[in-house]
Amino acid sequence: MSRTDRRTLRGAARFYAVQALFQMEKSGQTVEQVRREFETHRIGADSGDEGESWVEADLGLFGRIIDMAVNHQARIDQMTDRALVAKWPIARIDPTLRALFRAAGAELVESDTPPRVVITEYVQIAQAFFPEGREAQFVNAVLDHMAREARPGVL
């Protein structure tokens, strides 16, 4: 497998992780229920639309991100709160952004992925979810702050 293919699979895993964390918050499903649904019915599965299918992803990374996000949610949410302005605590931001910050925060707190890679990947995901907004700049600023806190001296 080429380096580009691995990068594509990892990017798709991050995208799916944001969706899964969003779904968990909205539906109240457990991490196990959501993981099973994504791995069985979404990631790489037939979408039902005339031969189209969902994109393949790195299932290991997908699972690690959602597990880490759940296991470290309080810490990640506190880091996110400190990166936001006082009038906008994490509870008041868009739920998609909240899921994105939790997924990215999980990687910043618990993985060896370089912070710049994490920031770049999740800014691209923000652009996919919010193609016409300023959310990507906002995500970049918040994640930069979170990365400096999670890994002092690395950036």
Q: What is the tens place of the pLDDT at every residue in 20-39?
A: 999 999 999 999 999 999 99
Tell me the whole-structure pTM to 2 decimals.
0.90
Under a CB-based contact definition with an 8 Å cutoff, are residues 75 and 101 in contact? Answer: no
Q: What does the alpha-carbon distance between residue 151 and residue 136 come to, in Å, rounded to a whole number?
A: 22
Mean pLDDT of 68-84: 95
Distances (CA, A) of 135 to 12, 29, 96, 125, 149: 20, 27, 11, 10, 21
Q: What does the alpha-carbon distance between residue 113 and residue 124 come to, in Å, rounded to a whole number?
A: 16
Mean pLDDT of 33-59: 80
Q: What does the alpha-carbon distance between residue 25 and residue 95 come to, in Å, rounded to a whole number?
A: 8
| pLDDT of 132 | 86
| pLDDT of 103 | 98
| Percent of the chain whose predicted confidence (pLDDT) is above 70 | 92
Q: Where are the domains of the chain?
A: 3-150
**DSSP labels for 71-140?**
HTHHHHHHHHHHHS-TT--GGGS-HHHHHHHHHHHHHHHH--S-HHHHHHHHHHHHHHH-TTSSHHHHHH
Domain 3-150 has CATH 3.90.420.10: no
| C-alpha neighbours within 13 Å on the C-beta side of residue 48 | 2
Rg (CA), the chain: 15
The pair of three-digit structure tokens given for residue 20, joined into one six-digit string: 């899964």
Under a CB-based contact definition with an 8 Å cutoff, are residues 76 and 143 in contact? Answer: no
